[in-house]
Structure 1
Amino acid sequence: MKTKGTHNYYVYILTNKNKTVLYTGVTNNLKDRLYHHKNPLPFSKAFTAKYKCFYLIHYEHFTEIEQAIKREKQIKGMSRAKKETLISNSNKDWIFLNESI
């Protein structure tokens, strides 16, 4: 069992190729999660599969799951404009970050 505060959790935002759709999620393994978004099960009805959202444009690291979930909910409650500002502050050109993970 890991000591409290030694875990890794990520809140992330994905988009589609044209950057018209935003998806926010939380995970403890960002690299694996990105793989599963890009390679969904056949006939998946998941939002990310339907809208082809598997391009990472923003993520935040946390060591406590409660903090990560709280932040995910906060981001999900933001307007599109506020999400765009958040993304632009950390990734000005909205570069796809998948390969850097």
Structure 2
Amino acid sequence: MYTVYAISSEVRNYIYVGLTSNLEDRLHRHNLGYERTTKPYRPFRLIYKEQFETRLEARNHEKYLKGASGKRFLRENFL
């Protein structure tokens, strides 16, 4: 199973969208600052997650959420 997730910075106006097979570990790494892309924006809270059977399905959904309409969907429904 693969999980597409979105996290929101608690201190800045920033949403990160990612893909993982171990969501708990990935969130832990984001909040500890191990991920270079998100380190300056921590701490984070999980605002969205959805599971997929295949990596291809998950990747396609991740691409959508990273785009303008996907970010608008996240902001309107989960913030």
C-alpha distance in structure 2 between counterparts of 1:24 and 1:51, whole Å: 13
SS of match in other structure, 2:28: helix
Match of 1:38 among 31, 44, 67: 31
State, as a whole percentage, how many aligned pairs show the same letter.
32
User: Which amino acid is 2:74 matched to?
Assistant: K
Check whether the contact 1:22–1:53 (CA below 8 A) recurs between aligned residues: no
Unaligned runs of 5+ in 1: 1-7, 95-101
Counterpart of 1:58 in structure 2 is 48
Q: TM-score scaled by structure 1?
A: 0.67
**1:29-57 Cα deviation digits (max 9, x unpaired):** 0011011111124xx6x221111152111
Q: TM-score scaled by structure 2?
A: 0.83
SS of match in other structure, 1:20: coil
Q: Which runs of 4+ in 1 moved over 3 A?
A: none
Check whether the contact 2:11–2:43 (CA below 8 A) recurs between aligned residues: no
Unaligned runs of 5+ in 2: none
Largest Rg, 1 or 2: 1
Match of 1:68 among 50, 58, 70: 58
Q: Does 1:22 align with 2:15?
A: yes
Check whether the contact 2:12–2:41 (CA below 8 A) recurs between aligned residues: no
Match of 1:13 among 6, 26, 33: 6
C-alpha distance in structure 1 between counterparts of 2:43 and 2:6, whole Å: 9
RMSD of Structure 2 on Structure 1 (CA): 1.9
SS of match in other structure, 2:64: helix
Which is richer in strand? 2
